[in-house]
Amino acid sequence: MTINPQLNADGSLRHLLTIDGLPRAILTHILDTAEGFISVSEQEVKKVPLLRGKAIFNLFFEPSTRTRTTFEIAAKRLSADVINLNINASSQSKGETLLDTVDNLAAMQADMFVVRHAQSGAAHMIARHVAPHIHVVNAGDGRHAHPTQGLLDVFTIRKYKGEFHNLRVAIVGDVLHSRVARSQIHALTTLGVPEVRVIAPKTLLPVGVEQMGVHVYHDMLQGLKDVDVVIMLRLQNERMRGARLPSSQEYFKYYGLTQEKLALARPDAIVMHPGPMNRGVEIDSSVADGKQSVILPQVTYGIAVRMAVMSILAGN
C-alpha cells in the first residue's frame, strides 16, 4: 500500500495537493465544514477566530485574481495573518531556487503555504520539503491539479442538486490543458456521480482520458442530452503549443454554449464555469448571465470551501 503524502498517519489531512486518491469521507468532511462557513459571509463582522495567530503565505508564481483573492479573503475571515508575495519582484527573479525561497519564508514562522505554480508537481515538492507542522495547499500546478476549485465546484453542485448519485455531469472544452477538469473529474467520481461526460474536439482531450472513468463525446449536441450540470472550460491559449483549433469563431460554432444547445440538457440543468470566462468563445453571454447560470455563486462558495480546507489543515 502506497502512503498518500497528503495524509497524516491517522488518515487526517496534512496537505491538500490533489483530489486524486483522497477518500470520499475527507471530501465530504470538507464540503460539510464549508457549509458551516457560508453563514460567516452573511454576518456583519465576517470573522471567526479559528486561525488567529497563524501565518499564511500566498505564493503565486502565476497570475491569478480570483483564486488568490478568495484564498486571501478566506484566510482573513479565519483571522489569520496573510502575506501575499509578489513573486515577480522577489528573490525568484534574482535566481533563488523555489525551495530556498520556501526555507526563508518558513524561517519567518510560516504555518501554511498556498502555492500556485506553472510547473506540475511544484506544490508536491514543497510539501515533501517543509517541516511537519507546515501545511501546503495547491492552488493550481501546471496542467496537473487545482483541488480547491474542484471542491468548490462539487460544493456548488451539491448546493443546487442535493445528491450526487443520480446526476449526469458534462465538462465541455479544453480538457487537455485544464488542471481544473482533472480535479473536477476526480471529485465527481469519488463522490459517486454515476455519469461524467467530457465534450471536446479530439485535439483538446488528453490521451486515455477514458481511463479516468468518463464518457467521451466529440459532438456537443449528443453530449449535452439530458445532463443535469454543464461545466464550461475556457480555451487556455497560453498553454497551447501550435494550432489546435481553426479559429475561436469556429470553436464557438461547435463547442460554445448557447441557449439552443443548453435546451438539450434537462430543464433544471445548471451552468458552471471556473473562470475567467471568454464570452463568445466557449459561452454566450445570454447563458452566462441567464437564469440557469450559477457562475457567480461558485465564486462566493469558493471562499467558504477555502476556509474549510485551511481550518481543517490547521486543526490536524
Q: What is the pLDDT of residues 63-110, one digit of tens each?
A: 888 899 999 999 999 999 999 986 765 556 566 788 998 999 999 999
Q: What are phi and psi of 7, to 5 degrees?
A: -110, 145
**Is 168 known as a binding-site position?**
no
Neighbours of 65 (CB within 10 A): 9
Q: Which residues contact 128 (CB under 8 A, 6 or more apart)?
A: 5
Q: Is 275 annotated as a binding residue?
A: yes
User: The C-alpha cell of 200 is what?
Assistant: 471536446
> In whole angstroms, what is the distance from residue 130 CA to residue 143 CA?
23
- Rounded Cα distance between 15 and 59, Å, is 15
Residue 94 annotated as binding site: yes
109 annotated as a binding-site residue: no
Q: Is 244 annotated as a binding residue?
A: no
68 marked ligand binding residue:
no
Q: Specify the pLDDT at position 90.
A: 59
Q: CB within 8 A of 171, min separation 6: which ones? A: 181, 184, 185, 196, 197, 198, 199, 214, 231, 233
pTM confidence score:
0.94
**116 annotated ligand-binding residue:** yes
Sheet of 112-117, strand order: 81-86, 55-60, 112-117, 135-141
Asked whether residue 149 is marked as a ligand-binding residue, the answer is yes
Please list the pLDDT of the chain residue by residue as tens digits (316 residues).
346 889 999 999 999 999 999 999 999 999 999 999 999 888 888 899 999 999 999 999 888 888 999 999 999 999 999 999 867 655 565 667 889 989 999 999 999 999 999 899 999 999 999 999 999 999 999 889 999 999 999 999 999 999 999 999 999 999 999 999 999 999 999 999 999 999 999 999 999 999 999 999 999 999 999 999 999 999 876 444 445 566 888 899 999 999 999 999 999 999 999 989 999 999 999 999 999 999 999 999 999 999 999 999 999 8
Cα distance between residue 170 and residue 196, in whole Å: 6
Place of cell 496537505: 15
Structural domains of the chain ordered from first start: 24-146+299-315 (3.40.50.1370), 148-293 (3.40.50.1370)
Q: Which three cell numbers stand for residue 196?
A: 461524467
Q: Scanning the structure block, which residue is given the C-alpha cell 448557447? A: 258
